[in-house]
Amino acid sequence: MIHVDFIRHEERIIAFEMDGHADFAEQGADLVCAGATSIAFGMVNAISERMGVEPVMEEDDGYLYYSVPEELGGSEDVQILLEGMEHQLISLAYSYPDYITINSKK
């Protein structure tokens, strides 16, 4: 199962962590894993391109941790993108509740 945690400070998303594999299908054919990965990396890339900064992240097989760069913490654009990502993943979890969970930590 994929677990996604959104870490917040004062209602703002400051980081997210995605860990695990969906195991919906075999590797290379797992649509849930591909969807979640595409959403997460697409958002990280969108923030980097829009704001002109390198991403602050760690990644490994089945693991991604992204932290909003400190200088972007107050950016409304970054928050809109991250909240959009959160809602996309919530929609995916709604359709595939046995394969992905979403948690927001305050």
Core vs surface per residue 47-77: b (16+ CB within 10 A) or e? bbeebeeeeeeeeeeeebbbebbeebeebee
21 belongs to the catalytic site = yes
Q: Which residue has the tokens 């917040």?
A: 8
Contacts of 48 (CB under 8 A, 6+ apart): 54, 55
Check if 33 is active-site.
yes
**Rg for the chain, CA atoms, rounded:** 13
- Of the residues 3, 9, 33, 87, only one is catalytic, namely 33
Catalytic residue among 3, 9, 21, 87: 21
Residues annotated as part of the active site = 21, 33
